[in-house]
Chain A
Amino acid sequence: MSRIARRFATLRAQGRGALIPYVEACDPDYDTALAILRGMPAAGADLIEVGVPFSDPSADGPTIQKAALRGLKGGSTMKRVLEMVSTFRKDDDETPIILMGYTNPIEAYGPERFCTDAKAAGVDGLIVVDMPPEEADLLAGPAAAAGLDIIRLVAPTTPDARLPIVFNGASGFVYYVSITGVTGTRTASTDELAAALPRLRKATDLPIAIGFGIRTPELAANAVSVADAAVVASALLNTLEGTLDADGKATATTVPAVLEQLRALADAVHAVSKTGSK
Chain B
Amino acid sequence: MSATDTQAGANSLRSGPDGRGRFGIFGGRFVAETLMPLLLELDAAYRAAQADPEFQRELDFYLKDYVGRPSPLWLARRMTEQLGGAKIYMKREELNHTGSHKLNNVMGQILLARRMGRTRIVAETGAGQHGVATATVCALFGMKCAIYMGATDVERQKPNVFRMRLLGAEVIPVTAGAGTLKDAMNEAMRDWVTNVHDTYFLVGTVAGPHPYPQMVRDFQSVIGVETREQIMAAEGRLPDAIVAAIGGGSNAMGIFHPFLDDLEVKLIGVEAAGCGLDSGRTAASIERGKPGVLHGNRTYLLQDEDGQITEAHSISAGLDYPGVGPEHSWLSDIGRAEYVGATDQEALDAFQLCTRTEGIIPALESAHAIAYAAKLAPTMGKDQIIVVNISGRGDKDIFTVAEHLGVKL
Which A residues lie at the B interface, using CB under 8 A?
Answer: 54-59, 61, 65, 72, 77-78, 102-109, 129-132, 134-135, 152-159, 162, 166, 177, 180-182, 185
B307 touching A109 by the CB < 8 A rule? yes
Across-interface contacts of B36 in A (CB, < 8 A)? 132, 134, 157-158, 162
Interface of A is mostly: loop
Number of interface residues of B (CB under 8 A): 38
A59 touching B190 by the CB < 8 A rule? yes
Across-interface contacts of B35 in A (CB, < 8 A)? 157
A103 touching B33 by the CB < 8 A rule? no
Across-interface contacts of A55 in B (CB, < 8 A)? 177, 308-310
Expressed in whole angstroms, the Cα–Cα distance for A155 and B192 within the complex equals 14
Given pairs A56-B182, A58-B190, 11 additional interface contacts (CB within 8 A): A56-B294, A57-B186, A109-B306, A129-B32, A132-B30, A153-B33, A155-B33, A157-B34, A157-B35, A158-B36, A185-B194
Which B residues lie at the A interface, using CB under 8 A?
Answer: 20, 28-38, 176-177, 182, 185-186, 189-190, 193-197, 290, 292-296, 301, 303, 305-310
Q: Which of A55, A166, A182 has most B Cβ within 10 Å?
A: A55
Closest to A103 in B: B293
A177 touching B33 by the CB < 8 A rule? yes
- A-B residue pairs in contact (CB < 8 Å), sample of 11: A58-B185, A104-B294, A104-B303, A108-B307, A155-B33, A156-B34, A158-B36, A159-B37, A180-B196, A181-B34, A185-B194
Expressed in whole angstroms, the Cα–Cα distance for A177 and B30 within the complex equals 17
Interface of B is mostly: mixed
A107 touching B307 by the CB < 8 A rule? yes
Q: Which of B33, B38, B307 has most A Cβ within 10 Å?
A: B33
A180 touching B194 by the CB < 8 A rule? yes
B32 touching A153 by the CB < 8 A rule? yes
The answer to whether residues A155 and B29 also contact, given A55-B308, A77-B306, A105-B307 and a CB cut-off of 8 A, is no
The 9 closest A-B pairs by CB, nearest first: A108-B307, A105-B307, A155-B34, A181-B194, A59-B32, A103-B293, A58-B186, A153-B33, A55-B308
Looking at the assembled complex, report how far the CB atom of A245 sits from the nearest CB atom of chain B, in whole angstroms.
Answer: 22
Looking at the assembled complex, report how far the CB atom of B18 sits from the nearest CB atom of chain A, in whole angstroms.
Answer: 12
Across-interface contacts of A103 in B (CB, < 8 A)? 30, 293
B189 touching A59 by the CB < 8 A rule? yes
Contacting residue for B196 out of A65, A78, A102, A157, CB 8 A: A157
Expressed in whole angstroms, the Cα–Cα distance for A219 and B186 within the complex equals 28
Looking at the assembled complex, report how far the CB atom of B301 sits from the nearest CB atom of chain A, in whole angstroms.
Answer: 8
Expressed in whole angstroms, the Cα–Cα distance for A78 and B306 within the complex equals 7
A59 touching B296 by the CB < 8 A rule? no
Number of contacts between A and B (CB, 8 Å)?
Answer: 115
The answer to whether residues A166 and B194 also contact, given A56-B309, A107-B293, A157-B38 and a CB cut-off of 8 A, is no
Contacting residue for A181 out of B37, B193, B295, B310, CB 8 A: B193
B292 touching A107 by the CB < 8 A rule? yes
B293 touching A130 by the CB < 8 A rule? yes
Across-interface contacts of A154 in B (CB, < 8 A)? 33
A130 touching B32 by the CB < 8 A rule? yes
Looking at the assembled complex, report how far the CB atom of A65 sits from the nearest CB atom of chain B, in whole angstroms.
Answer: 7
Expressed in whole angstroms, the Cα–Cα distance for A105 and B38 within the complex equals 26
Looking at the assembled complex, report how far the CB atom of B20 sits from the nearest CB atom of chain A, in whole angstroms.
Answer: 7
Across-interface contacts of B29 in A (CB, < 8 A)? 132, 134-135
Looking at the assembled complex, report how far the CB atom of A80 sits from the nearest CB atom of chain B, in whole angstroms.
Answer: 9
Looking at the assembled complex, report how far the CB atom of B296 sits from the nearest CB atom of chain A, in whole angstroms.
Answer: 7
Across-interface contacts of A102 in B (CB, < 8 A)? 293
The answer to whether residues A182 and B33 also contact, given A105-B306, A105-B308, A108-B306 and a CB cut-off of 8 A, is no
Expressed in whole angstroms, the Cα–Cα distance for A136 and B374 within the complex equals 46
B189 touching A58 by the CB < 8 A rule? yes
Contacting residue for B309 out of A104, A109, A156, CB 8 A: A104
Q: Which of B186, B292, B293 has most A Cβ within 10 Å?
A: B293
The answer to whether residues A182 and B31 also contact, given A104-B294, A109-B307 and a CB cut-off of 8 A, is no
Looking at the assembled complex, report how far the CB atom of B81 sits from the nearest CB atom of chain A, in whole angstroms.
Answer: 47
Contacting residue for B31 out of A72, A104, A130, CB 8 A: A130
Across-interface contacts of B197 in A (CB, < 8 A)? 180
The answer to whether residues A108 and B292 also contact, given A130-B30, A132-B36, A181-B193 and a CB cut-off of 8 A, is yes
Closest to B304 in A: A108
B292 touching A132 by the CB < 8 A rule? no
Looking at the assembled complex, report how far the CB atom of B150 sits from the nearest CB atom of chain A, in whole angstroms.
Answer: 13
Expressed in whole angstroms, the Cα–Cα distance for A182 and B191 within the complex equals 8
Expressed in whole angstroms, the Cα–Cα distance for A14 and B225 within the complex equals 68
Expressed in whole angstroms, the Cα–Cα distance for A153 and B30 within the complex equals 13
Expressed in whole angstroms, the Cα–Cα distance for A134 and B185 within the complex equals 22
Closest to A154 in B: B33
Looking at the assembled complex, report how far the CB atom of A266 sits from the nearest CB atom of chain B, in whole angstroms.
Answer: 27
The answer to whether residues A158 and B306 also contact, given A135-B28, A182-B194 and a CB cut-off of 8 A, is no
Expressed in whole angstroms, the Cα–Cα distance for A108 and B182 within the complex equals 19
Across-interface contacts of A158 in B (CB, < 8 A)? 33, 36-37
Across-interface contacts of A157 in B (CB, < 8 A)? 33-38, 196
Expressed in whole angstroms, the Cα–Cα distance for A129 and B36 within the complex equals 12
Expressed in whole angstroms, the Cα–Cα distance for A132 and B34 within the complex equals 10
B194 touching A56 by the CB < 8 A rule? no
Across-interface contacts of A177 in B (CB, < 8 A)? 32-34
Across-interface contacts of B176 in A (CB, < 8 A)? 65
Closest to A155 in B: B34
Q: Which of A72, A105, A166 has most B Cβ within 10 Å?
A: A105
Looking at the assembled complex, report how far the CB atom of B408 sits from the nearest CB atom of chain A, in whole angstroms.
Answer: 37
